[in-house]
Homo-oligomer: A and B are copies of this chain.
Amino acid sequence: MNFTQKSELIREKNKSNLVIGLDTDLQKIPVYFLNYKNPALEFNKAVIDCTKDICAGYKLNIAFYEYLEESGIEAMRESLKAIPDELIKICDAKRGDIDNTAEKYAEVYFDKYNFDSVTISPYMGTDSIKPFIKRNNKHVFVLALTSNNSYADFEMLKAGERHLYEHVTETILSAGSEDNTGFVFGANHLQEIKNFSEKNPGVSLLIPGIGAQGNDPAILIENVKTKNFVINSSREIIYAAEKEDSLSLISEKIRTSAVKLNKIIRSNEN
């Protein structure tokens, strides 16, 4: 089963296009978890436990785990084991390097940690993607048009008739396939998401930039013209509880926040 099939199955089963971003920061998690030997791991396990039947998967932002050094490595590895196999596991690393280094990263994220997909920065071209798409069941989400303020510095430069991000989607898709290659579009780029998803309904989209980053999911969803997408939300969901809340209250608030967001995301389905 390739990634695109796996993603479709879990979206159907859990009736969800939501990916929860585990951007786990010890300064932000409830104090309940700070008594554990590995607070980040225990927090992640609690988030996974109360949301695994209502989301499509999880995205782990590597920066937050590198920050925790050895215990971050353990938190990442053991959190991934706590996620049921049927859910999609995205490594948000924005990698992009020469072939032997890219191969090493692919071994780390796919073979050691069992992520299903990795985010990739396309600057160096197709051969920094290829080592990641050699495995039948693995996948990349390549940056196309990002949600940050300075996205237009380079992504919107026009070379010939098309913007850089359009060259990226076309060239990268010619090196990969719909089975193993999707793209990241920030939630602020409504018209570009509409155009791309109309033309490429079989290509998976990963859409960050709602919630803490401020874009309205209801408006976004009207512009997504494919079923083949997941929307990431991190801080709005995982930090839905108060610092002093009990475990049961934390779980309830996180789940409620995830259900509420997914309901908006799935409004076109109803």
Contact = CB atoms under 8 A, between A and B. Distances in A.
Q: Tell me which of A61, A64, A128, A171 has the highest count of chain B C-beta atoms within 10 A of its own C-beta.
A: A128
Contact of A125 (B63, B94, B154): B154
| Copy total for this chain | 2
A150 interface: yes
A171 B153 contact: yes
17 contacts: A63-B97, A63-B105, A66-B104, A66-B108, A69-B77, A70-B70, A123-B143, A123-B146, A123-B154, A125-B151, A125-B153, A125-B155, A127-B148, A127-B150, A153-B167, A159-B159, A159-B164
Interface in A114-169: 121-128, 143, 146-155, 157-160, 164, 167-168
B124 A146 contact: yes
Dominant secondary structure of chain A at its interface with chain B: helix
Contacts of A122: 123, 153-154
Interface string A65-84: 01101101110010000000
A64 B123 contact: no
A124 B155 contact: yes
A61 B97 CA distance: 10
Nearest to A25: B104
Contacts of A252: none
Q: Which 8 A-B pairs have the closest CB atoms?
A: A125-B150, A125-B153, A157-B159, A63-B104, A127-B150, A98-B148, A121-B121, A70-B70
Given A70-B74, A124-B154, A157-B157, 18 more contacts: A23-B101, A61-B101, A66-B108, A67-B107, A67-B108, A67-B112, A94-B96, A98-B146, A121-B121, A121-B124, A122-B154, A123-B123, A123-B146, A124-B148, A127-B149, A154-B171, A157-B159, A164-B164
Interface of A: 23, 61, 63-64, 66-67, 69-70, 72-74, 77, 94-99, 101, 104-105, 107-108, 112, 121-128, 143, 146-155, 157-160, 164, 167-168, 171, 213
Contacts of A107: 67
Contacts of A108: 63, 66-67
Contact of A154 (B69, B77, B149, B167): B167
Contacts of A153: 122, 124-126, 167, 171
